[in-house]
Structure 1
Amino acid sequence: MRFYPATLSRLLAVAALAFSPLSWAEQAISDGVYEIHYNAFNSSFITPEVAQQNGLMRSKYRALVNVSVLKLQDDGSKQAVTAIVSGQAANLIGQAQQLEFKKIDEGKALYYIGGFRFTEDEQLKISLSVQPDPNKPAYNIEFDQRFYVD
């Protein structure tokens, strides 16, 4: 099966909508200059082919965090931009896993994907630092999400 550039974009969007408990609310922040979109979902929701093509690890005990950054243009359009992205996922007793983000460039779409482990019915606090402009402070984003084994 051949995957086209927008395939990962569509799969990430579908996974976010179908499986994220917070998917009904937009998971994004904006300051009028940048929009930062983020979500987390079970890695088994992406196909083995997409995972292999993008160097992502799939497991029923592994989740992915997806971050994309858009810069608002003067004409009202939005353009994907690079950023410095880091973060961690911590459980309720404070055990944290550092997220290693991989940049996935699909031309007009740019994503940062990081993975982490979880156990059945585990509530995690995901903390992100997203810095689109290296000369300005990073945006700090935190959200809680419960994960289930697929």
Structure 2
Amino acid sequence: MKAAILGKRFTKRVCTTLALVTGLLVSTLSSLASAEQMVSHGDYMIHYNAFNSSFIQPDVAQSYGITRSKTKALLNISVLQKQADGSTKPVSAVVKGEVVNLIAQKQELSFQKIDETNALYYIGDFGFTDDQVLRFSLQVQPDPNQPAYSISFEQRFYVD
């Protein structure tokens, strides 16, 4: 009888510990997944992120001529230049890129420059299918007298 009670307590303690460890692991992985995507090259910081176009509000999409769709996503790129006083300011850049799926089907990205008060960014759109992994290759050239910086990353997309 005592052995059965001790066995149940041990099992309960192990299950509780596993649940706690699993919860911590999931929260750590989710915070890593939402981590900022940025590279730094000299005085430039290049921020990039890709997301479903349906995440944009319809009125905002319409004002910028962006098509919202369950199977269309957007790639957003902004370039900031570090200033002598430690601040940063948005700067223009030549932005080119492509996205390739796992069976080597390629889409060239065409970027629209969006210039707002205190913000400057480039938006490119691309199609995807549900549960699709896409590989991005970007060339970002903030200084026309210097070669472009290369950025590569991979991301999975889902139809929402």
Using the alignment, how far apart are the partners of 1:71 and 1:34 within structure 2? 5
CA drift at 1:96:
0.5
Quote the residue 1:64 is aligned against.
Answer: 74
Quote the residue 1:76 is aligned against.
Answer: 86
Q: Spell out, residue by residue over 1:46-90, the C-alpha distance to the aligned partner (whole angstroms, 9 max, x if none).
A: 011000111111100000000000000000000000000011110
CA drift at 1:26:
2.0
Report matched runs for 1:110-149 at 5 Å. Answer: 110-149=120-159
SS at match of 1:79: strand
- When residues 32 and 136 of structure 1 are mapped into structure 2, their CA distance, relative to the original with a 3 A threshold, is closer
Question: Root-mean-square deviation (CA), in Å?
Answer: 1.5
TM-score w.r.t. structure 1 length? 0.84
CA contact under 8 A between 1:21 and 1:145: conserved in structure 2?
A: no
The size of the alignment, in residue pairs, is 131
| Larger RCO, structures 1/2 (Cα 8 Å, 6+ apart) | 1
Contiguous gaps of at least 5 residues in structure 2: 1-29
Using the alignment, how far apart are the partners of 2:38 and 2:51 within structure 1? 15
Using the alignment, how far apart are the partners of 1:33 and 1:98 within structure 2? 28
